[in-house]
Amino acid sequence: MDILFNMRAFVCVVETGSFTAAAQRMDLTTSYVSRAVATLETHLRTRLLHRTTRRIALTEAGQRYLLRCGQILAYVEEAEAEASDAHASPAGSLKLHSMTGIGQHYLIKAIAEYRDKYPDVSFDLTLANRSTDILDEGYDISVVIAQELPDSGFISQKIGSTFSVLCASPGYIAKHGLPHQPADLHQHHCLRLVNTVMSLDKWLFAGPDGEELLTINQPIFQVNTADAMTEALKAGIGIGALPVYSAIRGLQDGSLLRILPSYSLFHLSVFALYPSRQYLDAKIRTWVEFLRDHLPAQLAADEQRLTEYSNRLSG
C-alpha cells in the first residue's frame, strides 16, 4: 500500500469536496481515488469520511487525521525540495578522502578556491596513504594516486598525472659520491616511501634509453609520507624518490639535489572516485569538475619549476 499516495488522495477529496473533483485534480478515475481512501480507512480501522449521495463530511477521527496528514505531507514536500535542491545547488558537507601528499600540496588550496565559488559547501577531509572503501567509510569522494584502478564498481575520473624524482642532500653526495646510472644505487643507502600504490622494492626508471628496473633490497630507512621522506633526505640519511610536488621546494632552495636527472620513476595517475553518476549531488559534481580543471594546471606548474631547476643546473 502506498500510504503517502492514499494520504494525498484523502486530503484532495477533503479540499475539493468530492471524489469526482479530487479525481479530476489528480488526473485519475473517481473509482481509483475512492479505493485509495477506502484502503486508508481499512488500514487505520476507522472511518475518515461520512459519505452520502450528495456530499461528504469529515468524521471526528478524520478531522484529527487530516491535520496530521497536512503536517506529514508538508514534511515530505520539504524533504523532496531539499533533495532536489542538493542536485541543483552545491551545499552541505562534503566528506573527502585523499592520499596525504596530493591532499597537503594541492587539495587544501583547491578547497579554499572552491569555497570562494561555493561558500555553502563545507569539507571533512581525511588524509591517508591507502585506498578506501567509499561506501563502508562514508566518503563522498576519494582522491587516489595509482598506475591503474581495480574494478570497484565506482565511477572514476582521471584528474591529473605525476611522477617522482630521485633526491639526496648535498651533504650525503659529498660524503658518498654521485651515482651516474640506476645500477650505481646498489652502492648507496636507498630510502623507501611506503604506500599501497607502488612497489616497495621495484623501482622502474624512465630514462634516455627507455625503462630500467632496479630492485632495492634492505633499505636502511622507510617511511609512509612524502613530507617525512623529504626531511629524511635533507638530513642526509640516503637517496630516495620523491613526488615532484614534494621535491620541488628543497631542490629550489638547495637543501636537496636531484640525482640521475635524466631519469624519472613512479609515473602515476590521479583519480577521483565516487559512488554513482546518476542523480549526482551538486557538491560532488562541481567538486570533481573543479578538480579536473584545477589540478592539472597545478601539477604542470610544479613540473615547469622542475624543468627550470634542471635548466639552471645544466646552464
Predicted confidence band of residue 314 (pLDDT cuts 50, 70, 90): low
Q: What is the pLDDT of residue 200?
A: 67
Predicted confidence band of residue 132 (pLDDT cuts 50, 70, 90): confident
Per residue in 17-47, pLDDT (tens digit) is: 889 999 998 888 989 999 999 998 999 899 9
Per residue in 276-299, pLDDT (tens digit) is: 656 578 888 899 999 999 999 999
Averaged pLDDT for residues 226-246: 94
Q: What is the pLDDT of residue 127?
A: 92
Averaged pLDDT for residues 214-235: 89
**Which of the residue ranges 105-119, 123-137, 167-181, 254-268 would you say has the lowest mean pLDDT?**
123-137
Q: Which residues of 137-168 are buried (b: 16+ CB within 10 A; e: fewer)?
A: eebbbbbbbbeeeeeeebbbbebbebbbbbbb
Q: Write down the CATH number for the domain with range 92-315.
A: 3.40.190.290
What pairs with residue 158 in β-bridges?
A: 271
Query: Closest Cα partner for 110 from 76, 64, 143?
Result: 143
Under 8 Å CB-to-CB from 7, ≥6 apart: which residues? 40, 69, 72, 73
pTM above 0.85, yes or no: no
Predicted confidence band of residue 56 (pLDDT cuts 50, 70, 90): confident
Averaged pLDDT for residues 239-259: 93
Return the domain boundaries, the chain: 3-88, 92-315
Q: What is the pLDDT of residue 83?
A: 63
Give the CATH number of domain 3-88; options: 2.40.30.270, 1.10.10.10, 3.40.50.300, 2.40.420.20.
1.10.10.10
From residue 141, how far is each of 92, 100, 118, 198, 289 by CA, in Å? 14, 15, 17, 21, 12
Name which residue leads in pLDDT, 118 or 132: 118
